[in-house]
Structure 1
């Protein structure tokens, strides 16, 4: 019996594997949960083997699932290369670039660069997602994404890396705060204060929470917002303090009654790195984006 899996099946399976959830994978694939579940079951029936272990908090890949994931990624990489090679002949074909970045990269450094790139390349779409740096490295290694932007504090193994931008974290305080005139602060001096932070799931907030936990502390958030602008406005009103990228803090300081104090902790001054598996293996449109990002240093 011949087993047939179409590209949409493989794309759905990739999304489920990447997110660890059929619900989230269905959302990425723009499918209803019932439809996605039925398609996964149909794939398993067609192949005669279980692909996923369904657990209360998500799914895990079986050995067969991991094997299919490898082939699904290979197929999609080949499709990307095909689209790239044919795009000059058939402009209706869309190229896709999968780009992952940490909070600072996505909020501060990428919007202008990606806006300019997409304006010049109307036949290319970019899937942009925020993740923690160590998760980005693993995603690039696994072939889940094409380009990642990570902090240099995480090991990148055999990946090719290119220096991107400096990312320094600073404390943001109201100008009349007792610590606001200091030249530098240690994170430990702030951990017992009320914090203003980004919404749940932010890579930056998880990064800060990790350093607090290693010191035996848990940060107390009075409110979480979606933007650095909103965070700084809350700080200005003396609701709490914040730790955010220096670029965002200095931008907000121009119009707000806040002070920005550098953190002296070694981990607070980071170099952002662009990482890829291999420049030579990237489709042409992805190499083009990579070249534009490296020119912006």
Structure 2
């Protein structure tokens, strides 16, 4: 590396090109009191080191070192140059580390969207992945399956976790987890003493469900239609948290994924019973753009999630 210092006025020193090797040699010579020792430390032959420092003095038009039989000592000009040279060397030595930090900071986030069950299920898998790859930054947000599909297709999310829907015509789709569905009721409910239940038994009671467009509502409607029954949806909410609160308050019963109710069953004093129906499982899928599936960071995360 060369640094050129042009003269700033008529009586200034002539323009000199400082190179890093010569500056390091010069500082090392002062610190060791010997050009030969400095040359050894910088892996340069002594004659070449002596010439470099001599050329530097000639270019500046001033003596920088006093050569003595026992070695060298700096002149006043040499001391001044050494102070500046040390600062330059320190600054240049910091550049690789600074660039490395910036490179890490500039790593693109992996943007993930997940439905309410996907958020609960993926937490442990993401924690184990980040423990292995602490430099990776993952942004996770909660959403509904159909809007998640649109976000991934439009490029505003890299990976989505959805339920029920399989947009294989538009996106790369990978099976993720299969979560049992359960019928949740107050502990005092007439069905609470049963071991397992069918959805047909639930149709006798008021049902709390998620809003239209969610997978779990679609399954309930389809199952009721196959039995030529109409479910009594008395409450529609946006989240499983609201569903749990309503069930606890005795406002109805609800079909929920096991991951969204089992951790709360004892706390809320509700009962969660498995459904025997063939359809009563939520299959979660990982989705991403077909082109993004070949991006190393996304490919690696997908592989970790499916293997975990």
> TM-score, normalised on structure 2?
0.53
CA distance in 1 between counterparts of 2:269 and 2:236 reads 19
CA pair 189-176 structure 1, distance change in 2 beyond 3 A: same
CA distance in 2 between counterparts of 1:110 and 1:190 reads 29
**SS at the partner of 1:148?**
strand
CA distance in 2 between counterparts of 1:293 and 1:87 reads 28
CA distance in 2 between counterparts of 1:212 and 1:136 reads 24
Which position in structure 1 is the counterpart of 2:282? 270
- On the 8 A contact 1:103/1:202 being kept in 2, the answer is no
Aligned residues: 207
Instruction: Answer 1 or 2: higher relative contact order, Cα 8 Å, separation at least 6.
Output: 1
Which position in structure 1 is the counterpart of 2:113? 100
> TM-score, normalised on structure 1?
0.54
Per-residue Cα deviation, 1:55-111 (whole angstroms, up to 9, x for no partner)? xxxxxxxxxxxxxxxxxxxxxxxxxxxxxxx988622314132323333112x2023
- On the 8 A contact 1:93/1:123 being kept in 2, the answer is no
- On the 8 A contact 2:166/2:173 being kept in 1, the answer is no
2:196 counterpart of 1:184:
yes
2:269 counterpart of 1:257:
yes
CA pair 163-281 structure 1, distance change in 2 beyond 3 A: closer
CA pair 237-265 structure 1, distance change in 2 beyond 3 A: same
- On the 8 A contact 1:150/1:273 being kept in 2, the answer is yes
CA distance in 1 between counterparts of 2:212 and 2:106 reads 33
Kindly report which structure 2 residues correspond to 1:125-274, keeping only aligned pairs within 5 A, or say none. Answer: 125-132=138-145, 136-137=148-149, 139-141=151-153, 143-151=155-163, 154=166, 156-157=168-169, 159-191=171-203, 193-197=205-209, 203-204=214-215, 206-207=217-218, 210-211=221-222, 214=225, 217=230, 219-222=232-235, 224=237, 226-228=239-241, 231-274=243-286
Largest Rg, 1 or 2: 2
- On the 8 A contact 1:161/1:274 being kept in 2, the answer is yes
Which residue among 76, 80, 91 is the counterpart of 2:104? Answer: 91
Segments of 5+ residues of structure 1 without an aligned counterpart are 1-85
- Over aligned residues, Cα RMSD in angstroms? 3.8
**SS at the partner of 1:109?**
helix
Segments of 5+ residues of structure 2 without an aligned counterpart are 1-98
